[in-house]
Amino acid sequence: MDSCAFFGTVSEVYDSWERVKRIPDYEETVGIALFDRMFEVAPDQWGNVFNWTRDDFQNKDEKFLGFANKFVRMLDLAVHMLGPDLEIVEEQMHDIGVSHRNYGVLPIHLQLMGESLAHTLQGLLGSSFTPATKQAWKDIFGFWSTSMIQGAIEA
Ligand code: HEM
């Protein structure tokens, strides 16, 4: 992606994320919907990274809600790291890839999480989640994942 296309894509992701953040208790709302979707589409993939079950999301288990808050703030941090200089963002994502390899995160987790996040945002934002917004999230999540995996391989 050239830096001009990247700028438009980042704006789209940033604006839609700001709309999500206006939802009351957005961390819990996004966290519950995201994890429920991740576990719905791939129930057997998460054993080495998470101890949760779908009951925890559906019954709003208190420990899970605390975790969901932290997890969604992690995504918020990643959105805010996006800036005009592609190379700086890439370097930061390389470092995050190294820490995440140590947390047991595999490429398949990133792929499933990216797809589940797009589905979750579409559900929360309705018609304002346009095909362009969807494509922008796909591009940014792909960029995050590729940079994280690259960082983990090179370290
Ligand atoms: C299944 C996928 C993922 C798992 C299991 C995971 C897990 C974690 C864990 C355990 C931490 C440490 C939290 C703490 O103790 O403070 C963390 C931090 C973080 N994660 Fe994730 N993460 C995942 C995906 C992602 C993705 C896709 C991004 C970015 C797009 C991301 C961005 C971050 C950032 C920025 C931090 C804080 C800095 C760091 O620890 O490197 N994570 N993550």
Atom of ligand 1 nearest to the CA of 70: 13
Determine the pLDDT at residue 1.
65
| pLDDT for position 4 | 67
Considering the domain 3-154 in this protein, what is its CATH number? 1.10.490.10
- Residue 96 Cα to ligand 1 midpoint, Å, equals 7
In this structure, the residue with its CA closest to atom 39 of ligand 1 is 96
* Cα of 2 from ligand 1 centre, angstroms: 26
Q: Which residues surround ligand 1 with Cβ inside 6 Å? A: 49, 74, 77-78, 96, 99-100, 103, 105, 109-110, 113, 144
Nearest atom (ligand 1) to Cα of 46: 1
Nearest CA to ligand 1 atom 41: 96
Q: Give every CB contact of residue 7 below 8 A, 6+ residues apart in sequence.
A: 84
Question: Which pLDDT tens digits describe the chain residue by residue (155 residues)?
Answer: 666 678 889 999 999 999 999 999 999 999 999 999 999 999 999 999 999 999 999 999 999 999 999 999 999 999 999 988 889 999 999 999 999 999 999 999 999 999 999 999 999 999 999 999 999 999 999 999 999 999 999 98
Determine the distance separating the centroid of ligand 1 and the alpha carbon of 145, expressed in angstroms.
Answer: 12
pLDDT at residue 71, as a whole number: 97
Stated pTM of the model: 0.93
